[in-house]
Amino acid sequence: MLKKAPNLKKIVKSKTKSNINVRLTSEAMLEIITMLFLKNLAKEATAKSFEEKSATIKPRHVRAVTKKMLKKARG
């Protein structure tokens, strides 16, 4: 996490329907959100992988978790 998330602004702008801007400071906040989300995701995924007694996180773990996480991070 040493580097800036490079494309956040572009991503958000590409996904918004209307032409909307993103303020620079809020871009930093966006990083927070993504960090938080990723962190939760990772946490859940690790938990799931532990359930299966595997040391590494496999895609299936992640997939099983994402749905729940996405629902949670709806707001």
Partner 1 sequence: MEPTGDLSARVLVEQILSTEPPMTPVTRSVSRQQNPSSIYRTRLSVKKADAQTPQNILRRSLKHKMRESISKTNLPPASKGRTVSLGLGNPNTRASSSMLLEGDTPRHILMNILQTEPIKSPVIHEGAAPVESQSSSADHSIATNSSIELSGLDLPDLTFGNARSVAKRLSRKRPRRTVNVSTFIKKLRKGEGENEEDSAQEDLSLSSSSTTSFSLKTPFENVQTDKKGLRRRVSQRRKTTKEGFGDAVNRMLLDHETSSLIQGEQGLCESTLAQDFSPKLSNLKKQELINEIIHSNTARYDTGDVPVGDFAVLETQDQSTVMASAIRSVMSIGAQTQPDGKGEVMQVSECQEEKNTTDCEAELETPESEEEDDKGEREEKAAVNPQTEEVVVTPSVEEDNMEEKSLVYSQTKADAATPTEDENATTTPEDEYHIEDDKVALVDSQTEEDATTPPEDEDNMEEEEMVMVDSQTKDDSTTPSEGEDATSPPEEEDNMEEEEMALVDSQTEEDATTPEDEDATTPPEDEDNMEEEEMAVVNSQTEEDSTTPSEGEDATTPPEEQDNMEEEEMAVVDSQTEEDSTTPSEGEDATTPPEEQDNMEEEGMAVVDSQTEEDAATPSNEDATTPSEGEDNMEEEEGTKLPTEDSAAVPSEEENALAARSQSKGKTDEEQELNQYIEHIDRQAHRFGGTFIIPVGEDDTTEPGLSEQDVAGKNSLRDSHSSIKVDSSDLESSGPHAPHPDSDPDESEAPPVEGAVPHEQDEWEEYDDEEENKEIPMKTPAFVREKRTFQMAYQVSPTAFNPQTSSNKSEAVPSVKPKRVRKPKSATVKNEVGLPKNYLMGVFRHFAKTKVSPDVYPVLKETMDKFFDRMAEDLETFALHAKRKTIEVEDVVLLLRRQGHVNDKVPVEVLIEKYLRMDQRRLLIPVATSGNIVIPKMKR
x/- mask, partner 1, residues 19-58, rule CB under 8 A, reads: xxxxxxxx-xxxxxxxxxxxx-xxx-xx--xx----xxxx
Burial 16-48 (b: 16+ CB within 10 A, else e): eeeeeebeeeeeeebeeeeeeeeeebeebbbeb
In the complex, minimum distance from the CB of residue 70 to partner 1, in angstroms, rounded to a whole number: 6
Q: How many residues bind partner 1 (CB under 8 A)?
A: 57
Residue ranges binding partner 1 (CB under 8 A): 1-7, 10-26, 28-39, 41-43, 45-46, 49-50, 55-59, 62-63, 66, 69-70, 72-75
